[in-house]
Amino acid sequence: MSELNAESVLASIVELRKSIAESNAELRASIAEQGKRMEQETAELRTSIAEQGKRIDVVCERLDEQGKRMDKVLDELRVNNHRVGELTNKVGRIVEKVVVPNIVDKFNEKGFM
């Protein structure tokens, strides 16, 4: 009877080892599959990030162009404001000579130009 027990124990050990080997193989296959999926997802993310980087570069270029246009418009406004100021001073001098003496100086003192 003890031989039967020893045989059944050996058989159980062999069966257990076989089961462990099968589980290890399944785990390795699963890990390899997950690794492939992770590599694929990582590649997709890198591609997406690169595309977004390109889009951001395009937006930055557009913003730079808009900034240059705004600077140009501001320069033109400054020139036009200066011209309007000169015109206003000329009209003020005419009014000063005809109607109110020293009006241009009074406006200039107040910061109008």
Angle at the Cα of 21 from the Cα atoms of 37 and 38, rounded to 5 degrees: 10
Section 56-73 average pLDDT:
95
Strands (E), the chain: none
- Kindly indicate the confidence band of residue 3, based on its pLDDT and cuts at 50, 70 and 90: low
- CB 88, CB 108: distance < 8 Å: no
Backbone torsions φ then ψ of 112, nearest 5 degrees = -85, 140
Q: What is the pLDDT of residue 58?
A: 96
Section 61-68 average pLDDT:
96
> 96-106, pLDDT tens digit by residue?
777 777 777 77
What residues contact 43, with CB distance under 8 A and at least 6 apart?
Answer: none
Average pLDDT taken over every residue of the chain? 88
> 54-63, pLDDT tens digit by residue?
999 999 999 9
Q: What is the pLDDT of residue 48?
A: 96
